[in-house]
Amino acid sequence: MKKVTIHDVAELAGVSIKTVSRVVNNESAVRENTKVKVNEAIKALNYKPNLSARNLRGTQTFIFGLLYDNANAYYVVDMQNGLLSECLDKNYELLIRPCDSHAPDIVKQVTDLIHHSRLAGLILTPPLADNPEILDHLKEIELPYVRITSGKAIPGKCEDGIFVDDEAASMHITDHLISLGHKRIAYITGDMTHESSPNRLNGHLAALKKAGIESDPALIINKDYSFESGVEGFKELLELGELPTAAVGGNDEVAAGILYCARLNDISVPGDLAIAGFENSPFSRQTWPKLTTASQPNTEIARRAAQLLIKLCRPDRSPEHDASQHCFIPELIVRGSTTADS
Amino acid sequence: MKKVTIHDVAELAGVSIKTVSRVVNNESAVRENTKVKVNEAIKALNYKPNLSARNLRGTQTFIFGLLYDNANAYYVVDMQNGLLSECLDKNYELLIRPCDSHAPDIVKQVTDLIHHSRLAGLILTPPLADNPEILDHLKEIELPYVRITSGKAIPGKCEDGIFVDDEAASMHITDHLISLGHKRIAYITGDMTHESSPNRLNGHLAALKKAGIESDPALIINKDYSFESGVEGFKELLELGELPTAAVGGNDEVAAGILYCARLNDISVPGDLAIAGFENSPFSRQTWPKLTTASQPNTEIARRAAQLLIKLCRPDRSPEHDASQHCFIPELIVRGSTTADS
DNA sequence: GCTTGCTATGACAACGATGTCAATATAAAA
DNA sequence: TTTTATATTGACATCGTTGTCATAGCAAGC
């Protein structure tokens, strides 16, 4: 079980270490013939390049950073898994870095991370993916990065990234409620400083408009994506007098808060009140009734992000991937919180 | 913003790079005087040793691996955070590695990870922390590791690790139910192949015994820590005829399953049935009613684990930490699923 | 004052890869 | 066939650190 180095591969293949290096890095100017020989040797020895040596010597490192907000525990693990599966495959290392997006020195934290860890590229998740200061800094130092964020891929617009079309998905949710006959539909938003919140709200409003339902401003409550804000938000709705027949939460936690508050007030769900969430968090299947929601394939999203970042880092060397933008539309999942028979 | 290397520090301090290296690594045989000079230079330049170079050259690397099962998403992030805070501080790198504990080739996966990533040490979480094959292998290759697992620290027993005393915590939960007057208390276990399950069950049984309540085998249902198993388990209880007045789930997901099934059958909670869980998962605060549970400080637990591992890896060089074993007792958290007034 | 035996320090090689640049093989052109 | 251009390949330095070993400094013992 000795360490296998590039020298061992070179010897077995009968070439120099530099040639092995070329094959490993998918550089041009290697005869097909020798490439095969080298690849056979690599396989035979189960050779994996030493990351430390690569990072030390190369102009580029093989380290990606993943930046995420501490609070987003639910989907972070899924994203980590997606990134890891791609990174392991392509011999990149993944450095995870939780941080507090509200910290006043957040930009400095990011700067230090990049500098000290010699990152090759960065993957940003919301809300950090939408922080203009961070983005400006990354552009300035020309560090490749991929944003995973809420929005639409805009063909021709020269910004790479992975987009989640919250607006479309949110529209589907409200469409669903409308199709069930609901007309007075409340909406409790997430943190409006996160891109996703206005997008989701807009999708809701668009669906109402499409159906010719006038939206009532009193039914739109601005909150912050937390369970507690769902509880509070619905309490405010209760004080309105006339209750809505349906309520949508900006995410599942808000929806769970609404559900909690409804139960507390003996309002039957979905009988007197239909409730929908967003994100398909694990617990959305564990409430009673289970929450109707929209599901995004976080692992797949992250895998794409990694592929894109690899492409950005080594345009010449990496195999071709599809586009430089990719857009996912979360899928409506209908459960018992909106229809009794689910 | 140029890279600061050991050479810069050496120059500023007026010593050789080797002496700087000695100071950085807390080696002996450096005059107090020079140590101060070097440390000042390090501070002045904000020097951080290059991890790649260290890992490449040294006999030891500065890479820790964290092994966890894919399924344990809830507390993994907390543990990651605790480990990271310690690792960043001590200039270690943390490699995360989700895996499937049921994979037939799990031992080979671990072997390959250690070998290819040149790990300095490994942190194991349940259920991998209790896999004898993995542990044997680690002992054989003499790789330092720390287990975070369910059990008691046994003074004098020469095994290092971080222990969570599930038995004691589980006893507290059942004590709590008994103090509320419950006598027929059902218990739906987690996966009995995980250390934590028998420990938690034993705590429950011990509490019953202490209170002089005979335990009814029909009220103990073997399940697997999932929401669905909670639903199924309670369904089985329903078929018994006479219902228990309280039910404990092996973890919060099982408890949520019980709660779900109770609602489905119009059983009021906590009126007709008190329910308790375990682990203080985020969603245990988001059900209705909120779940009584037991909370373990996962971030702190992980931080301890990292400290311990550092100590194991560099016995001569690291500063002294407390003990080589540490035991945490999860704390009872009483909520509405057991007492109406919470 | 001169060994002796330690402590403190530094010179240098080495870890395993990639970048640079020169050398060789091969194909194309004359 | 010879020359020229181009495609392949390899020798060697190098990244920033630590391990090895040699050397310098200094107190104690004769």
* pLDDT above 90: residue A115: no
In this complex, which protein residues place their C-beta within 7 A of any atom belonging to strand C? A 3, 5-7, 17-18, 20-21, 24-25, 47-50, 53-54, 56-60; B 14-19, 22, 28-31, 33-34, 53, 56-57
Note the pTM of the prediction, 2 decimals: 0.92
Phi/psi of residue B149, nearest 5 degrees? -150, 170
Q: How far is B256 from chain A (nearest CA, A)?
A: 6
Round the average pLDDT of chain B to a whole number and report it. 92
* pLDDT above 60: residue A156: no
| Inter-chain residue contact A115 with B56, CB threshold 8 Å | no
Round the average pLDDT of chain A to a whole number and report it. 92
* pLDDT above 70: residue B230: yes
Distance, angstroms, CA B12 to C1' D20? 25
Q: What is the pLDDT of residue A15?
A: 94
CA A14 to chain centre: 45
Between B125 and B325, the higher pLDDT residue: B125
Residue A27: pLDDT band with limits 50, 70, 90: confident
| Inter-chain residue contact A288 with B61, CB threshold 8 Å | no
* pLDDT more than 90, % of chain A: 80
A97 neighbourhood in chain B, CB within 8 Å: 84
Phi/psi of residue B98, nearest 5 degrees? -70, 145
* pLDDT more than 70, % of chain B: 94
Q: What is the pLDDT of residue B48?
A: 92
Q: What is the pLDDT of residue B71?
A: 77
Of the given ranges (A292-306, B53-67, B151-165), which has the lowest mean pLDDT?
B151-165
Between B78 and B3, the higher pLDDT residue: B78
* pLDDT above 60: residue A323: no
Between A189 and B327, the higher pLDDT residue: A189
Residue B315: pLDDT band with limits 50, 70, 90: low
* pLDDT above 50: residue A54: yes
Spell out the residues 6+ positions from residue B241 whose beta carbon is closer than 8 angstroms to its own: none
Of the given ranges (B55-69, B144-158, B322-336), which has the lowest mean pLDDT?
B144-158
A283 closest CB neighbour out of B53, B77, B286: B286
Residue B318: pLDDT band with limits 50, 70, 90: very low
Q: What is the pLDDT of residues B240-276, one digit of tens each?
A: 888 999 999 999 999 999 999 999 999 999 999 999 9
Spell out the residues 6+ positions from residue B22 whose beta carbon is closer than 8 angstroms to its own: B29, B30
Q: What is the 3-state secondary structure (H, E, C) of chain A?
A: CCCCCHHHHHHHHCCCHHHHHHHHCCCCCCCHHHHHHHHHHHHHHCCCCCHHHHHHHCCCCCEEEEEEECCCHHHHHHHHHHHHHHHHHCCCEEEEEEECCCCCCHHHHHHHHHHHHCCCEEEECCCHHHCHHHHHHHHHCCCCEEEEEECCCCCCCCCCEEEECHHHHHHHHHHHHHHCCCCCEEEECCCCCCCHHHHHHHHHHHHHHHCCCCCCHHHEECCCCCHHHHHHHHHHHHCCCCCCCEEEECCHHHHHHHHHHHHHCCCCCCCCCEEECCCCCHHHHCCCCCCEEEECCHHHHHHHHHHHHHHHHCCCCCCCCCCCEEEECCEEECCCCCCCCC
Q: What is the pLDDT of residue A154?
A: 67
* pLDDT above 70: residue A273: yes
* pLDDT above 80: residue B322: no
Residue A189: pLDDT band with limits 50, 70, 90: very high
* pLDDT above 70: residue B174: yes
Task: Answer whether A92's CB lies under 8 Å from A64's CB.
Answer: yes
Measured CA to C1', the nucleotide nearest B22 is D18
Q: What is the pLDDT of residue B115?
A: 85
Q: What is the pLDDT of residue A107?
A: 92
* pLDDT above 90: residue A1: no
Distance, angstroms, CA B91 to C1' C6? 33
Residue B319: pLDDT band with limits 50, 70, 90: very low
* pLDDT more than 70, % of chain A: 94
* pLDDT above 90: residue A257: yes
Residue A28: pLDDT band with limits 50, 70, 90: confident
Q: What is the pLDDT of residue B158?
A: 54
Residue A336: pLDDT band with limits 50, 70, 90: very high
d(CA A313, CA B135): 39
In this complex, which residue's CA is closest to the C1' atom of nucleotide C14? B57
Q: What is the pLDDT of residue A321?
A: 46
Q: What is the pLDDT of residue B108?
A: 92
Two structure tokens written together for A307? 């592929």
Residue B192: pLDDT band with limits 50, 70, 90: very high
Query: Greatest CA separation found in chain A?
Result: 84
CB-proximal positions of chain D, under 7 Å: 7-12, 14-20
Spell out the residues 6+ positions from residue B215 whose beta carbon is closer than 8 angstroms to its own: B205, B208, B209
| Inter-chain residue contact A98 with B80, CB threshold 8 Å | yes
Place of tokens 């999203």: A301
Query: Mean pLDDT throughout B59-86?
Result: 91
Q: What is the pLDDT of residues B271-313, one digit of tens each?
A: 999 999 999 999 999 999 999 999 999 999 999 999 999 988 8
Other CB atoms within a 10 A radius of the CB of residue B242 amount to 9
Query: What value, to the nearest 5°, has the Cα angle with vertex A136 and ends A135 and A141?
Result: 100
In this complex, which residue's CA is closest to the C1' atom of nucleotide D15? A57
* pLDDT above 70: residue A315: no
Query: Mean pLDDT throughout A256-277?
Result: 96
Of the given ranges (B97-111, B149-163, B252-266), which has the lowest mean pLDDT?
B149-163
Of the given ranges (A154-163, B63-72, B192-201, B208-217), which has the lowest mean pLDDT?
A154-163
Task: Answer whether A137's CB lies under 8 Å from B1's CB.
Answer: no
Q: Which residues pair with A67 in a beta bridge?
A: A97, A124
* pLDDT above 90: residue B152: no
Residue A185: pLDDT band with limits 50, 70, 90: very high
